[in-house]
Amino acid sequence: MDLPKAFRIAMADRYEIEARIADGSVASVFLANDIRHGRRVALKVLHPDASAAFSDVRFVREIKFLAHLQHPHILALYDSGLAAGLLYYVMPYVPGESLRARLDREKHLAVRDAARIACQLAGALDYAHRHGVVHRDIKPENVLLAETNVMLMDFGIARAIGLAAGEQLTSPLAVGPGTPAYMSPEQFIPGAELDGRTDIYSLGVVVYETLSGELPFDPAGGRTALMRKLGQPAPSLTTVMSAVSPAIAGVVARALAVEPNDRYSSAAEFANALEAAANAGTAPVAHPDVQAHATGAPGGGRFPARYRVAVAIVVVALIALGVRLAMPR
């Protein structure tokens, strides 16, 4: 997206816009000079159609709420507003590359490198979750690799965009609710309440891709493939990448559990389990079903509780019928 002249004029006393550095489906990012503070920043401007669909008051209010997040692995928010009909927000400019760019170049990463990145991201998520904020859009494009430091970008922007659009973020048709290939199963359910465990699932997808170079579910399959998340566990990492140990596969399998209650209770717990598995190569304590699925053993993978109850009822009924038929007339 090229910035209209009216926007540049409206921002001229605050930001000197130098060049466009990235484009996305909802916004474009520009390198700019913060005139007031003498620093380089990343200016993210929502596309005209997106800006026109949103309530600028609600968007800016949500952005201000997110500005209080201060963590070494969260890219801070400097400023936000409306200029010439376009919504924008401002972040620090940090030289580096996205995790997506690195995966495009290397396909997958070594276990120690992948674990280091995941643990830093989990630290950022744990901090945000304890402050009542859920990211909702964890994906490689939102992970910035700056030397040895990892930073999570666009924290809570999906929530701000969704509320500004007057849509429920859990609706797959809402603007900016997340990226389908990385969304948790509950994000596909309209009206579902989301908490930090939805971010744990999305981070699990990122770890899966970082280690194997593949997504657990192929987004090219369309709606049918995505809806499989609602009732089926992800394929084990060991089936697509033999170099990954069963211990690490077990950790990732638990993060990708269909039911939120079967996942790690916090991002910190996920990070500790992944770090232990990467260092020692031994499986952390996990649910037996998760471990069986991770090692490819028969019966691996969990189904939601409502399905297990239904199966149990059917089995009991069949047993009762068999006993009755076996009795003498």
Active site residues: 137
Pairing of the two strands 79-83 and 39-46? unpaired
Taking CA atoms, 61 is separated from 56, 68, 152, 164, in Å, by 8, 12, 21, 9
Residue 79: DSSP 8-state: E
DSSP secondary structure of 269-329 = HHHHHHHHHHHH--PPS--HHHHHHHTT-TT-S---HHHHHHHHHHHHHHHHHHHHHHS--
Please provide the distance, in angstroms rounded to a whole number, between the alpha carbons at the two ends of the chain: 81
Cβ atoms of residues 230 and 259 within 8 Å: no
Centroid of chain to Cα 128: 13
168's CB contacts (< 8 A; 6+ apart) are: 162, 174, 190, 191
For residue 327 the two structure tokens come to 């009795």
Helical residues (DSSP H) of 149-263, grouped into ranges: 157-164, 196-212, 222-227, 237-240, 246-255
User: Between vectors from CA 84 to CA 78 and to CA 90, what angle results, nearest 5°?
Assistant: 15
Structure tokens, 184: 């948790």
Pull the structure tokens for residue 244.
């990954």
Could you tell me the sign of the dihedral formed by the alpha carbons of 247, 249, 255, 261, in that order? negative
Whole-angstrom distance, CA of residue 319 vs CA of residue 329: 18
